[in-house]
């Protein structure tokens, strides 16, 4: 595997997933252990409360290859017929290191079964792959890797701090094992984060593997070139955070993996930049604005009117829906916001080119050349 195989590919790096205990078979009895917790007054030494709880994580640590797994049973709130009830769940801390040599692929829909196979091989508990897929999740780290030299990374960190709306929320680490950039706080940034100030970090992945995760890298990554590799990482902390991201309907881990993770990475990073002011234009509904922008984008790319109409005149919907869509098309095309003049000019050009026998693909090339020319032509007075 070479760097180009996994750079700018978003994936889940780590997180916590939970499966209903009723859907699991406990193999290692320690997961069912109860602990007696005693509350004692420091001043008098008097015991004033006592309770039995479960939930201490059972940890399997492999010091040789630098991996560990953590599994425990804990009570969580669940909703049954709209009523909140306490129910026992098996919780697992998952990590892309559990994928071993496929570490850089990260946790995705394509690698989740490999992760499941590894967790089951620990013989702590058993569950079906389907229940593993559709587990609930929390505190999930999403990341992607990109290439930058040490000098490039230093410049990037400086540029980020100069560009964000509040530089004080971004902090640089300068230790021998970490030269990253973190938000939103210098100390315990993960704990201090909230949906509007998410936990984000940029760090030198090469340095991390050579120092903090050396055993893991030496065991599994010898055949992978990870020089000059930088990682961007951000954390979805809670259901409240999901709602801010517009993902309140994402309930299971499989559904999260099915989301556009690159967009989510961008959403969280942009929390630290100035938001453009919302400008209300007439009485256009939000979805109509989206459709108008897409139509104008099509027009700018030289798409003719009949091709745009075909998107609305569909045969894969009901008769009533098709009628509604055609009605929507005519209503939107009458709006002043549609670039009708360019649309008409495009159609005249296409008709002429077709009459003269010019390949329509060439026309698209000419459109793109003209755009490049407009953006690259120097202004008068420049040399």
Mean pLDDT value across residues 162-191: 91
Coil, strand or helix: which one is 246? Answer: coil
Q: What percent of the chain has pLDDT over 70?
A: 83
Question: Residue 33's pLDDT band (boundaries 50, 70, 90)?
Answer: low
For the entire predicted model, the pTM comes to 0.76
Say if residues 180 and 172 touch (Cβ distance below 8 Å). yes
How confident is the model at residue 46, as a pLDDT?
60
Write the DSSP symbol of residue 123.
Answer: -
**pLDDT tens readout for residues 198-240:** 999 999 999 999 999 999 999 999 999 999 999 999 999 999 9
Q: Where are the domains of the chain?
A: 3-270, 286-368
Confidence label for 80 from pLDDT (cuts 50, 70 and 90): confident
> Shortest CA distance to 71 belongs to which of 97, 95, 90, 51?
90
CB 228 within 8 A of CB 148: yes
pLDDT of 308 above 70: yes
Phi, psi of 230 (to 5 degrees): -115, 145
Asked if 196 and 244 touch (Cβ cutoff 8 Å), the reply is yes
Compute the distance between CA of residue 210 and CA of residue 232 in angstroms, rounded to an integer.
Answer: 18
Q: What pLDDT does residue 28 have?
A: 84
Q: Please give the pLDDT value at position 144.
A: 94
pLDDT at position 81 over 60: yes
Residue 189 pLDDT greater than 80, yes or no: yes
pLDDT of residue 382: 47
Mean of pLDDT over the chain: 85
Q: Quick check: 140 pLDDT over 60?
A: yes
For 338-368, the pLDDT digits (tens) are: 888 888 777 776 776 676 666 656 555 444 5
Q: What are phi and psi of 23, to 5 degrees?
A: -100, 5
Query: Where would I find the beta strands (DSSP E) of the chain?
Result: 11-20, 25-26, 35-40, 47-53, 58-62, 67-80, 83-95, 125-126, 136-147, 171-172, 181-183, 200-204, 229-236
- What is the arithmetic mean of pLDDT over 140-162? 93
Ranking 204-208, 235-239, 274-278, 329-333 by mean pLDDT, the lowest is: 274-278
Which two tokens mark 56?
């201490």
67-80 and 58-62: which strand pairing?
A: antiparallel
The residue-averaged pLDDT of 27-42 equals 63
Tell me what the mean pLDDT of segment 9-16 comes to: 96
Helices (H), 42-187: 112-121, 129-133, 150-163
Residues with Cβ within 8 Å of residue 20, at least 6 apart in sequence: 78, 87, 88, 89, 90, 131
């Amino acid at each position: 595997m070479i760097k180009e195989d996994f750079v700018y590919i978003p994936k889940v790096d780590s997180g916590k997933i939970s499966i209903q205990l009723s859907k699991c078979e406990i193999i290692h009895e320690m997961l069912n252990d109860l602990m007696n917790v005693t509350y004692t007054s420091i001043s008098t030494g008097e015991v004033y409360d006592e309770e039995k709880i479960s939930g201490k994580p059972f940890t399997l640590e492999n010091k040789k290859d630098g991996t560990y797994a953590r599994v425990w049973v804990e009570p969580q709130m669940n909703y049954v017929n709209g009523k909140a009830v306490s129910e026992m769940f098996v919780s697992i801390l998952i990590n892309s290191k559990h994928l071993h040599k496929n570490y850089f692929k990260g946790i995705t829909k394509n690698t989740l079964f490999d992760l499941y196979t590894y967790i089951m091989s620990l013989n702590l508990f058993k569950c079906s792959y389907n229940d593993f897929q559709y587990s609930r999740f929390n505190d999930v780290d999403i990341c992607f890797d990109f290439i930058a030299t040490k000098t490039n990374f230093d410049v990037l960190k400086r540029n980020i701090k100069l560009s964000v709306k509040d530089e004080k929320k971004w902090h640089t680490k300068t230790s021998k094992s970490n030269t990253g950039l973190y938000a939103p706080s210098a100390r315990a940034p993960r704990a201090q984060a909230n949906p509007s100030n998410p936990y984000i970090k940029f760090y030198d992945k090469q340095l991390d593997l050579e120092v903090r995760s050396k055993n893991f890298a030496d065991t599994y990554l010898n055949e992978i070139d990870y020089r000059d590799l930088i990682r961007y990482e951000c954390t979805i902390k809670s259901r409240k955070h999901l709602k801010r991201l517009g993902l309140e309907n994402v309930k299971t881990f499989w559904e999260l993996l099915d989301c556009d993770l690159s967009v989510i990475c961008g959403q969280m990073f942009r929390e630290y930049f100035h938001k453009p002011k919302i400008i209300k234009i007439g009485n256009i509904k939000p979805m109509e604005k989206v459709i108008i922008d897409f139509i104008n984008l099509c027009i700018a790319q030289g798409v003719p009117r009949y091709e745009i109409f075909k998107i609305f005149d569909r045969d894969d919907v009901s008769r009533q829906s098709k009628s509604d869509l055609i009605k929507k098309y005519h209503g939107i095309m009458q709006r002043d916001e549609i670039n009708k003049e360019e649309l008409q000019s495009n159609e005249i050009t296409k008709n002429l080119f077709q009459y003269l026998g010019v390949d329509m693909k060439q026309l698209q090339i000419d459109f793109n050349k003209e755009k490049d020319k407009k953006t690259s032509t120097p202004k008068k007075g420049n040399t």
